[in-house]
Amino acid sequence: MRIATWNVNGLRARLDYVRIWLEARQPDIVGLQELKVSEEEFPASAFDDLGYEVVVYGQKAWNGVAILSRHRAEPTLRGLPGQEAFGARLVGARIAGLTFATVYCPNGKDLAHEDFGRKLEWYDDLVRYWPSEVGADEAAVLCGDFNVVPAPIDSWRGEAGDGSIFHTPEERSRYGALLDLGLRDLFRESCPDTRAYSWWDYRAGAFPRGHGLRIDFVLGTSRVLERVVEVRIDRDFRKKQEGLTASDHAPVIADLDWEAV
DNA sequence: ATGTCTACTGATAGTAGA
């Protein structure tokens, strides 16, 4: 079973690129973020042609999350209660014996912006909501763009980044509270010392310079962690493919020893 | 400091967001 997460930065602009990636990597379940498309305009038929069911929580222009699945998907979570005004950022489904959810956590913009405080509150609500829906003893995955750099190794700036947006103690404590619910960062658990990033700014030549951050994660409960075969960040798909522009995020892929049930 | 990309609009260039 191959699962993945990917912030695609606009699904309509990225559709041909996403298709190339799906055909190359053949994932079973994918959490997508930043669709930037209404549900009416979501290209469901393109995914149907590729053999994927879709579960979508979209909105016009911004945000938006979806799950693609080769197995039957039964929708479960849709939105974070009380946080609807902050956009379509959480969707979940029951697939192949797994609880699979994907999130697009708020960016926060900068420390002085009102969205920074709203980001922390959004995280607080997620930490309250998740255990009300998903047990720590379940086989569950929460993947997505968390917009938090967990540790200096996850930032091109290393410790020099500490205190700046994505790297603050306030953000890290909220993210830590999420992990304390029994969720484990499958990449970091598999590769404790690997410096790898999942996002590079489009500007200032950040990608060729190695100026990246690791902010996209596949989190899993211990029942998922014990089934991990390999986790990797698919850096080749931050590059142009067949002349098509990449997202500013790379996909994160986790291979599990898991049979669909 | 900020070289790009996406999607929006009394669109066809400028703005906001990331």
Q: What is the pLDDT of residue A257?
A: 98
Residue A74: Cβ within 10 Å count: 11
Q: What is the pLDDT of residue A260?
A: 78
Distance CA A163, CA A166 (A): 8
Which DSSP letter does residue A112 get?
T
Question: Nucleotides of chain B within 7 Å of a protein C-beta?
Answer: 1-8, 17-18
Q: What is the mean pLDDT of each run of 10 residues along chain A (261 residues)?
A: 97 96 98 96 96 96 96 97 94 98 96 93 97 97 97 96 96 97 98 97 94 97 98 96 95 95 72
Distance CA A19, CA A50 (A): 8
Q: What is the pLDDT of residue A230?
A: 98
Q: What is the pLDDT of residue A216?
A: 97
Q: Return residues with beta carbons within 7 A of strand B.
A: A 9-14, 36-38, 60-62, 106-107, 109, 115, 201-205, 245
Domains of chain A plus CATH, in order, are 2-256 (3.60.10.10)
Distance CA A179, CA A218 (A): 12
Interatomic distance A238 CA / B14 C1' (Å) = 28
Q: Of these residues, A17, A28, A52, A145, which one is catalytic?
A: A145
This prediction's pTM: 0.97
